[in-house]
Amino acid sequence: MRDPAAIPGLRVTVMGLGVHGGGLASALFFARRGAEVTVTDLRGPDALAPSLERLAGLPVRYVLGRHDTTDFESADLVIKNPAVPTGSPFLSAARDRSVPVETDVSVFLSLARSPVIAVTGTKGKSTTASAIHHGLLRVSPGARLGGNITVSPLEFLDELAPTDPVVLELSSWQLGDLAGRGLLAPRVSVLTVLLPDHLDRYPDMAAYVEDKKAVFREQEPGQRAIFNRDDPRQRDFPAETPAEPFWYSAAALPGDLRGAWLEGTEGRLRTGPDREARTVLAGTRLAGSHNLMNLLAAGLALSLYGVKAGVIARALREFPGVEHRLELFHEAGGIRYYDDSTATIPHAAAAALEALTPPVVLVAGGTDKGLDYAPFATAARRAAAIVLLAGTATDKLRPLLDADGIACEGPFDDLDRAVTRAVELARSLRAGRATGQPVSVVLSPGCASFGMFQNEFDRGRKFKESVRRLAG
């Protein structure tokens, strides 16, 4: 793709404006360069108000509440939101007219010259990518973080120097849009754990995993690919990439494998057969064994990028975590409140319950993604009390909890009522405990957010607002 700055008048249709991320960034990027931009979104102006405010004053044409086929057929370029299926009839109409279909990430990769570290997985990718970025800032102040983490890389493309490293967190949908196009060849790729997810979008787990493989498939010899040795799905992945394979694991690695492992809560690393093991993780502010693994992967990626072990260990020890990921945001009356809204699958909610010291009041439930909620019901036994939010997943989850004799309250279709009840339950638990022994309340839904909320970030923000108002 040529630099759009050289082609003013380019007719660009942005499909899916949204309220954060790639749609808005793409519209801004092309409109500021003189393109003729049409923004089309199935939602109306009220839902899109924050993005429309950002675009105010720019010559952008809007088609809201619907899509028109002619906007796709007459365009020179279509930018799609990753959530839009590639089989959309509107995208098919564009392709039938030989109109290229891109995403904000593909545009970025076509134009940027910066080294890339790419991170994907089902859970842990935001924490891992953010920790890598946190470490890179110690040695490269121009390092940037973008992708699925709600910051489009187009937002900072113009500010990048060729030597500034970019960490991209990539979802399966973003990777599916990049697969086979020769655009993604990161200097270092990282896979966190792979678990069932988005099975309302994919026909099966194999198809979901196939999209994830795009993070390493087009790497080149001399580049590095990091795999999770504790995930059996990844054992054969090194055979599918020209990159050098490295592993990370909770257990010590065999002597013939290069990578990182845990010794208790410390992370150790060996990048060659004759190399002495070095410490890259020694202390963390984050809760949970799953976060130790995320930081271990980050430490390995930083080392392979060339950051010294001592710098890595200090950076990871000070890493504050990521918003909405088991985030301790409020404490009052001996009760700690955690926002874990990005726990959108059952395994993630289970990890939160494992990470927190009992007793825990769990706020959970939401929208179904075609997943099996039996693991959620099993993990829910660890909670002292459960408050359910309304949704299609809750309708599947409630009978499982009832069958196991696990008491729960709700479902509530009003967040304030749910939070009020969770606070009451936590205060009751707190009243029966000794001084200095806190109770935890955690929003860790194990489900998607649509229905009551715009997305998981909206859910987390509103939960925090409600707690601060109602918990004192």
What pLDDT, in 10s, does the model give residues 48-99?
999 999 999 999 999 999 999 999 999 999 999 988 988 999 999 999 999 9
The answer on 271 and 355 residing in a single domain is no
The pLDDT confidence band at residue 259, using thresholds 50, 70 and 90, is very high
The answer on 311 and 197 residing in a single domain is yes
- On whether residue 209 sits in a domain, the answer given is yes
Residue 352, both tokens: 């939160």
The answer on 292 and 144 residing in a single domain is yes
- On whether residue 3 sits in a domain, the answer given is no
- On whether residue 173 sits in a domain, the answer given is yes
- On whether residue 81 sits in a domain, the answer given is yes
The pLDDT confidence band at residue 472, using thresholds 50, 70 and 90, is confident
Q: What is the mean pLDDT of residues 410-424?
A: 96
The answer on 277 and 261 residing in a single domain is yes
What pLDDT, in 10s, does the model give residues 117-173?
999 999 999 999 999 999 999 999 999 999 998 899 999 999 999 999 999 999 999
Domain end position, chosen among 57, 82, 102: 102
The answer on 138 and 239 residing in a single domain is yes
The answer on 198 and 72 residing in a single domain is no
- On whether residue 27 sits in a domain, the answer given is yes
**CA 186/CA 433 separation, integer angstroms:** 51
The answer on 341 and 422 residing in a single domain is yes
Domain end position, chosen among 102, 133, 158: 102
The answer on 131 and 48 residing in a single domain is no
Query: Is the predicted pLDDT of residue 208 greater than 80, yes or no?
Result: yes
The pLDDT confidence band at residue 219, using thresholds 50, 70 and 90, is very high
pTM for this model (two decimals) = 0.86
Structure confidence at residue 238 (pLDDT)? 98
The answer on 230 and 127 residing in a single domain is yes
Helix (H) or strand (E) holding 372: none
Q: What is the mean pLDDT of residues 287-301?
A: 95
What's CA 97's distance to the chain center, in Å?
Answer: 34
The pLDDT confidence band at residue 3, using thresholds 50, 70 and 90, is low
Query: Is the predicted pLDDT of residue 8 greater than 90, yes or no?
Result: no
- On whether residue 369 sits in a domain, the answer given is yes
The answer on 281 and 333 residing in a single domain is no
Structure confidence at residue 432 (pLDDT)? 76
Residue 100, both tokens: 């290229």
What pLDDT, in 10s, does the model give residues 346-382?
989 998 999 899 999 999 999 998 888 988 888 899 9
Structure confidence at residue 201 (pLDDT)? 85
What's CA 27's distance to the chain center, in Å?
Answer: 22
The answer on 394 and 347 residing in a single domain is yes
* Residues 266/244, Cβ–Cβ less than 8 Å: no
What is the DSSP-derived secondary structure letter of residue 341? Answer: T
The pLDDT confidence band at residue 4, using thresholds 50, 70 and 90, is low
**CA 237/CA 192 separation, integer angstroms:** 13
What pLDDT, in 10s, does the model give residues 17-42?
977 678 999 999 999 999 999 999 99
The pLDDT confidence band at residue 272, using thresholds 50, 70 and 90, is confident
Structure confidence at residue 365 (pLDDT)? 94
**Residue ranges making up the domain that contains 48:** 9-102
Please give the tally of structural domains in the chain. Answer: 3
CATH number of the domain encompassing residue 240: 3.40.1190.10
CA distances from 227 to 237, 238, 271, 382, 403 (A): 8, 8, 14, 30, 38
Structure confidence at residue 435 (pLDDT)? 61
**CA 224/CA 216 separation, integer angstroms:** 9
Domain end position, chosen among 72, 102, 132: 102
> What's the mean per-residue pLDDT of the chain?
93
CATH number of the domain encompassing residue 410: 3.90.190.20
Query: Is the predicted pLDDT of residue 12 greater than 60, yes or no?
Result: yes
Residue 206, both tokens: 């194999």
**CA 294/CA 116 separation, integer angstroms:** 19
CATH number of the domain encompassing residue 33: 3.40.50.720
Residue 442, both tokens: 């955690």
The pLDDT confidence band at residue 394, using thresholds 50, 70 and 90, is very high
The pLDDT confidence band at residue 100, using thresholds 50, 70 and 90, is very high
Strand order in the sheet with 101-102: 60-64, 36-41, 11-15, 77-80, 101-102
Structure confidence at residue 243 (pLDDT)? 98
Structure confidence at residue 436 (pLDDT)? 66
- On whether residue 220 sits in a domain, the answer given is yes
- On whether residue 1 sits in a domain, the answer given is no
**CA 58/CA 50 separation, integer angstroms:** 15
Percentage of the residues of the chain whose pLDDT score is greater than 70: 97
The answer on 290 and 143 residing in a single domain is yes
Q: What is the DSSP string of 152-164?
A: -GGGTGGG--TT-
Q: What is the mean pLDDT of residues 280-285?
A: 94
What's CA 427's distance to the chain center, in Å?
Answer: 33
